[in-house]
Each structure stands twice: as C-alpha cells, then as structure tokens.
Amino acid sequence: MTPITNIRLAWIAVFLLILLMPCSGQERENIEVITFNIRYDNPADGIFSWENRKDMVFWVIAKYDPDILGIQEALKSQVDELEEFLTEYSWLGAGRNDGHHQGEYVPIFFKKDRFMLAEEGHFWLSKTPEIPGSMGWDAACTRMVSWVKLNEARSGNEYFVFNTHFDHIGEEARENSARLLTDSILSIAGSGPVIITGDLNADPESGTVKVLSQLFSDSRLGAEVSETASGTTFIGFPADMNQGKIIDHIFVSKHFIIEEYEIISDNTGGYYPSDHLPVWVCLQMSAQ
C-alpha cells in the first residue's frame, strides 16, 4: 500500500472509534466553536488533494465536536460532503461568485439539537455589499460574509455568528473589510452576543485585527487557558510549522468568557488535514 493509503486507513480507524463515543454536546453549558479553512478542492494539490485529506478533516471535526463550525474555502462539492457527514448539524452558506452555488463558500454549521435558526444572511466585502459577486478595493478575489442568528433551545439565549474569509492580497481590502464587517455587525446584531470566525489573512499585529479588536475580543489573547504550541495557523503544503502566521481567528463580543483557546495540530506523521490548522475555543456566557 502507498503511504497515503496507510495514513488514510489509520485516520479512518480512529474516526470509527470517535463515532462510538457518546455525544455530550447536548449537555454542555459552554459553547465550543471551531474556525477551519479546509483548502478548496484543487486536484493540482496532488497528494494533498481534497480526496486524500477529507477523511482527516471529518475526523478532526468529529473529535472536537464543536457546537458551531465556521468553514472557509469550501466549494459546493465539499459543502455537500460536509453536509452528508455532519448529520447532527444544520448549515447556512452560499457561493461567493453568485450568491448561490458558484465559487467558494464560508458556511456556518451548527448543532441542530441545540440551536434553532432564527435569521440568516450574506453580504459581500465591497463598496456594494448587497451585490453578489462584487469585489472591493484592491482585493484579488470576491470575498463575502455569511451570518446566522441562532436561538438556543434550552436557555433561550440568542447568538449571532459571522463567518468570513478576507482577501489574501489586498491590504486595503482587508482593513476595509474589517470596518465593513464591524459596521454590519452593529447594524444586524445590535447589542446582542456575537461570535466571529474567519481566515482573515492578517496577523495579530495587523491593522485589520486592530480594527476588529476595537469592539471584539481576540480569543487567543483573552482565553483563560491557551494552547498555541504550533505558533502558526497557516502551515502550507507540505506542512511547515515554522511559518509563524496566525491568520485564522475567532473574535467574540463582551458577552462571553473565553475559557479555552487551542490551535489544533492533530496530524499523522506530519500529514495534516489542510494547509491551515483549525482554531478551537470554549466559551461561556458572562453573568453580566
């Protein structure tokens, strides 16, 4: 058997064990969130192609069992496979090119036994955010935001979740996207609890992150317990753990206590689920 076949078989074996474990998500008082750039389905990636990686992506999601999952770079075929695998979740998303099925999605998955979808929407990171497929400023690609308002069945609490993927080239586009995202959140969510997940293509010292940090807490800095041993969320193909680029982020409003933060680095022999490492946080609603 090839090395890739051995790796896939090893991950599938552990994955099956995970499926046999009891699900405790319904009993949680906290909220566990993951942001994960899964890398689009690009056959030119060779041994790192989606077909060779997807079992590990599914395994990581099953292992950490988030209540809310923000995905970046998923094409329609990948969203379909995620939907088929994530049977305990509902989801919301659209293709960035046309607002329907064309182009990458930034879908939001959420546990359907815990949350009910109250509102949903999308907007584009441009000067005309209401126009599907519109591009903004010096961006190289069309970029967008998908959002949901969730009602928690048990507590009655309401949460707004915004998921996005900022441009990888345009610095002006990233900073203006952060401003547009902030303004849109204030308009949509008002003073309600907000969770932001995304690949911002911006490091913690960037102007982009500083814009978001004016109103929201960076979970990496605000966590009571933080595991950042890798020191990077972008690792590339093949994986280089010395990239030092923390560009995948979870921000939250003041309504939350950030109990734990972790950059997930699960792998098999240096073979990783994606060219990005997922970020996981554990949140608790503040008593205030």
The tens digit of pLDDT for each residue in 34-93 reads 999 999 999 999 999 999 999 999 999 999 999 999 999 999 999 999 999 999 999 999
Rg of the chain over Cα atoms, rounded to whole angstroms, equals 18
Exposed, middle or buried: residue 185 (CB in 10 Å: 0-12, 13-18, 19+)?
buried
pLDDT for the residue 29: 85
Nearest in space to 238 (alpha carbons), one of 266, 212, 275, 210: 275
Is the residue at 25 inside a domain? no
Predicted confidence band at 24 (pLDDT cuts at 50, 70, 90)? Answer: very low
pLDDT for the residue 243: 92
Is the residue at 17 inside a domain? no
Residue 18 has pLDDT above 50, yes or no: no
Domain limits at 68?
A: 3-8+30-285
**What tokens does 130 get?**
């209401």
pLDDT for the residue 106: 98
The values of phi and psi at residue 123, to 5°, are -150, 160
CB 17 within 8 A of CB 64: no
Portion of the chain with pLDDT greater than 70, in percent: 90
Average pLDDT of the segment spanning 264-272: 95
Average pLDDT, the chain: 92
Q: Which carries the bigger pLDDT value, residue 213 or residue 14?
A: 213
Strand-pair category, 108-111 with 89-92 = antiparallel
Number of domains in the chain: 1
Is the residue at 140 inside a domain? yes
Per-residue pLDDT reduced to its tens digit, 126-162: 999 999 999 999 999 999 999 999 999 999 999 999 9
Is the residue at 109 inside a domain? yes
Per-residue pLDDT reduced to its tens digit, 124-135: 999 999 999 999
DSSP sequence for the chain: --HHHHHHHHHHHHHHHHHTSPP-GGG-SSEEEEEEE-----GGGGGGSHHHHHHHHHHHHHHH--SEEEEESB-HHHHHHHHHH-TTEEEE---TTTSSSSS-B--EEEETTTEEEEEEEEEESSSSTTSTT---TT-SS--EEEEEEEEETTT--EEEEEEEE--SS-HHHHHHHHHHHHHHHHHHHTTS-EEEEEE-S--TTSHHHHHHHTTSEEHHHH-SEEE-TT--SB-TTTT-TT--B--EEEEE-TTEEEEEEEE----BTTB-SSSB--EEEEEEE---
Residues for the chain: how many in total? Answer: 288
Residue 25 has pLDDT above 70, yes or no: no
**What tokens does 2 get?**
């090839």
Portion of the chain with pLDDT greater than 90, in percent: 88
The values of phi and psi at residue 200, to 5°, are -90, -5
Average pLDDT of the segment spanning 241-262: 97
What amino acid occupies position 283? L
Is the residue at 14 inside a domain? no
Average pLDDT of the segment spanning 233-248: 96
pLDDT for the residue 287: 72
pLDDT for the residue 90: 98
Is the residue at 18 inside a domain? no
pLDDT for the residue 229: 85
Residue 17 has pLDDT above 70, yes or no: no
The values of phi and psi at residue 205, to 5°, are -95, 0
Is the residue at 23 inside a domain? no
Predicted confidence band at 3 (pLDDT cuts at 50, 70, 90)? Answer: very low
pLDDT for the residue 231: 93
Find the CATH number of the domain harbouring 209: 3.60.10.10
Predicted confidence band at 23 (pLDDT cuts at 50, 70, 90)? Answer: very low
